Structures are given as C-alpha cells and as structure tokens.
C-alpha cells in the first residue's frame, strides 16, 4: 500500500530529524527537508495516524512530533541496512586496539574506542569465567596454612583467591597439588569444572585429598561470586553533553545504575554473539534506564558469547550508527581474544 509505505517514510524522517536536531519536528520542516513528494498538510494527516497508533507524540499542542519508544522500536526493526563504518572508522578501530598488552588493556581500549565512536556511554564486560577455559592454575604458598590460588583463563582473565588449608603444606606438596590440579583442569571449560571435582578428589592420593577439596571448593566459589562478572565503563562524560536535553532531570539515577553494574550485567546476560540487541526506553526493566536505550552484542568466537559489550544512551540516539559501531568493536575484540 502506498499509504503505509509513505507513513513509514514519514516516521523514519521524523526519527532521523529528531535524532539529529533534538527539536520536535513539524510537518513543514519535514516536507522541506525530506522531499517526500507531498505537501505539509498530507504529512499532517499521516502524522495524525502515526500518533493515533502510538508511534509519535506531541510534547504539547503547538509543538512538532517526537518519536515514542514504540516509534523507535519500529524504526530499529525496519532498519534496512546497518550503516557500514567508514574506512576512517575501521582504521581508527585497528589503530586503537592494536598494541594492547593484556586483557585489561584490550577491554580498556575497547570501551574508550566505543565511547568515542558512538559518543555515548560504553560498557564492556569481562569474559565470563564460566565460559572460559582454564589455561593454568598456579598455587603460591603464603604461609603453611595459606595458599594463593591464581587462575589464568584462555581469555586472559586472571583471578586470585587466598585458600586457607587445614593441613600444613610444604613446597613439595604444593608442587604436587599444582600439577594434579592442572592435569585435571587445564583446557577444561570452567563450567565443567564442577563436574570434575568429585572424580578428582576421589582419585587423589589420600594425603592430598583435603587439599584438593579445599582448593577446588575455592575455585568453584570464584565462579559464582558476584565479582565473577566485571564491567568496564567509559565515556560517562558523554552523558553530561546535553544532559538537560536528553535526560529530563538529572543523569544521576543513570550514573548510579551504571555504577551498580548488576543492572547492566543483567542486560548483558541476554546478549548473543553477532546478534545485536537493542532495548529501548520503557523496554528496560530497571527504572533508571527507562529513559535510555541500550545497544549490546556478545563478543567471542564460538556460538556462545564470552561476554558482552554495548552502549547506553538516550532513546534519541543514532541507532544505525551505534549498532554498526558496537558490532564492529565486538568483532575486533573477539578476534583479539582468540589470538592471544
């Protein structure tokens, strides 16, 4: 139908115009700027319908229209082509991420990069431990009854815990324990580690059993602790840019939610690799985010994402551009992690 088609065009034009100017957009401006081939009056009729259907709304009578969350949603779903990144942008990504020395560095650079590309707040999650594999388990004796366990994963994460052991342990025993644990766990996905613990303890030489059990228990604990999931956040300064415009009253609740991490992690939990997830305004369950949109995607090779990354910004954001940026950065991060 020619009608519906044009209405879609009108909606699209409204979104684009509003995103770039931040002014409610009126029929006249639309007709002037977007060459829709019809007069303002016609556009007004279409706009009335769009408003009826809930895609746009007027902040007040005698103002132009503004997309609603539903409008953005429709717009995003119909995003025909994701705007490809410019050559300059691709080069910027490479230049930015090249020369990272370790995981911390990779993620730190990614978050800065993403914030810079999108001019929004960027969020990068550390690779989930449970989906990483053990590269090495190190034990460093601290005292006779305390060991420092250091877990190194294939994604480059390093976690450490102090293990209190019931029996006195000398250097030799520690060495034995270390090779035992590494033989058992090295290369194994951490999610599978819990399955192996039982066997491992059973098969351990009797004098080592208590130790193996103790260290294994701590290992498993690190997997479930809340600190298990870490987040790097960057570009919060972008929130201040036009905060008055984008966020009704203050950015405070948003900043709080970001620092809370839990909120963002929950959102991240749902992301899959290669499929960008966009959640818009009210679609976000957490109250502080109801005025914001979240564009995220998983990174990592395989079929299951190692972690997620994304950007948070006003619902009035450049979805096409941000989706492209998020996807591109995720791909590079995935590559970098696969290499190391």
Count the alpha carbons within 13 Å of 273 in the hemisphere toward its beta carbon.
16
Q: What three-state secondary structure class fits 315? A: coil
Q: Which is nearer to a copy of itself, 23 or 102 (CB)?
A: 102
Least distance from C-beta 240 to a copy of itself, angstroms? 4
**Contact partner, 150, from a copy of itself, DNA, none, Cβ < 5-8 Å per class:** a copy of itself
- List b or e across 174-194, with b for residues whose CB sees 16 or more CB atoms inside 10 angstroms: bebbbebbbebbeeebbeebe
Are 323 and 79 in contact by the 8 Å Cβ rule? The answer is: yes
| Positions 197 through 226 that interact with a copy of itself (CB under 8 A) | 222, 225
Among 28, 83, 131, 161, binds a copy of itself (CB under 8 A): 161
How many C-alpha atoms does 137 have within 13 Å on its Cβ side? 29
Residue 32 C-beta: closest distance to DNA, Å: 9
For the bound state, the minimum distance from the C-beta of residue 235 to a copy of itself, rounded and expressed in Å, comes to: 7
| CB of residue 124 to a copy of itself, shortest distance in Å | 14
Q: How many residues bind DNA (CB under 7 A)?
A: 28
DSSP string over 92-152: HHHHHHTT--SHHHHHHHHHHHHHHHHTSEEEEEPPPGGGSBEEEEEEEEEETTEEEEEEE
CA dihedral 59→61→67→68, nearest 10 degrees, is 60
> Is 5 or 303 the residue whose CB approaches DNA more closely?
5
Which residues in the 56-85 window bind DNA by CB under 7 A?
Answer: 58, 60-65
d(CA 135, CA 158): 10
Residue among 113 and 324 whose Cβ is closer to a copy of itself: 113
Applying the rule CB under 7 A, the residues between 9 and 28 that interact with DNA are: 23-28
Q: Kindly determine how many residues on this chain lie close enough to bind a copy of itself according to the rule CB under 8 A.
A: 40
The option from DNA, a copy of itself, none interacting with 70 (CB < 5 to 8 A, set by class) reads: none
Cα–Cα distances in angstroms (integers) from residue 203 to residues 163, 200, 209, in the given order: 21, 5, 8
CB of 42 to DNA, least distance (A): 3
Q: Does 171 bind a copy of itself (CB under 8 A)?
A: no
Give the residue with the Cβ less far from a copy of itself, 24 or 127.
127
Q: Where are the alpha helices (DSSP H) in the chain?
A: 2-21, 27-34, 40-52, 69-77, 87-97, 103-118, 171-185, 190-203, 206-224, 237-240, 243-246, 252-260, 262-269, 319-339
Among 20, 33, 39, 250, binds DNA (CB under 7 A): 39
Note the residues at the interface with a copy of itself (CB under 8 A).
101-105, 108, 112, 135-136, 138, 140, 148, 150, 152, 156, 158-162, 222, 225, 227, 230, 234-237, 239-241, 243, 250-253, 255-256, 259, 340
Residues that bind DNA (CB under 7 A): 2-3, 6, 23-29, 37-42, 44-45, 47-48, 51, 58, 60-65
């Amino acid at each position: 139908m020619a009608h519906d088609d044009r209405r879609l065009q009108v909606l699209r034009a409204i979104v684009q115009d509003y995103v770039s100017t931040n002014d409610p957009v009126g029929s006249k401006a639309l007709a002037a700027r977007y060459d829709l081939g019809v007069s303002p009056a016609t556009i007004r009729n279409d706009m009335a319908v769009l408003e009826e259907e809930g895609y746009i709304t007027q902040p007040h009578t005698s103002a132009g229209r503004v997309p609603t969350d539903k409008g953005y949603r429709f717009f995003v779903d119909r995003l025909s082509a994701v705007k490809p990144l410019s050559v300059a942008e691709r080069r910027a990504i490479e230049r930015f991420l090249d020369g990272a020395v370790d995981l911390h560095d990779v993620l730190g650079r990614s978050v800065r990069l993403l914030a810079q590309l999108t001019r929004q707040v960027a969020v990068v999650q550390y690779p989930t431990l449970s989906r990483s594999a053990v590269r090495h388990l190190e034990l460093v004796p601290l005292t006779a009854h305390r060991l420092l366990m250091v877990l190194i994963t294939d994604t480059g994460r390093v976690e450490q815990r102090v293990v209190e052991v019931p029996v006195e342990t000398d250097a030799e025993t520690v060495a034995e324990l270390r090779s035992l644990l590494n033989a058992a766990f090295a290369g194994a996905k951490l999610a599978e580690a819990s399955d192996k613990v039982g066997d491992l303890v059973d098969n351990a030489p009797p004098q080592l059993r208590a130790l193996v059990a103790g260290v294994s228990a701590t290992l498993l604990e690190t997997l479930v602790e809340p600190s298990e999931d870490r987040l790097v956040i960057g570009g919060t300064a972008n929130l201040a840019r036009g905060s008055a415009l984008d966020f009704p009253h203050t950015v405070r609740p948003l900043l709080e939610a970001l620092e809370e991490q839990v909120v963002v992690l929950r959102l991240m939990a749902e992301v899959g690799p290669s499929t960008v997830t966009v959640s818009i305004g009210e679609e976000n369950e957490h109250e502080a985010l109801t005025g914001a949109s979240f564009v995220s995607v998983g990174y990592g090779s395989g079929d299951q994402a190692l972690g997620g990354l994304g950007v948070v910004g006003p619902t009035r954001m450049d979805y096409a551009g941000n989706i492209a940026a998020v996807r591109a950065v995720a791909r590079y991060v995935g590559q970098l992690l696969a290499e190391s």
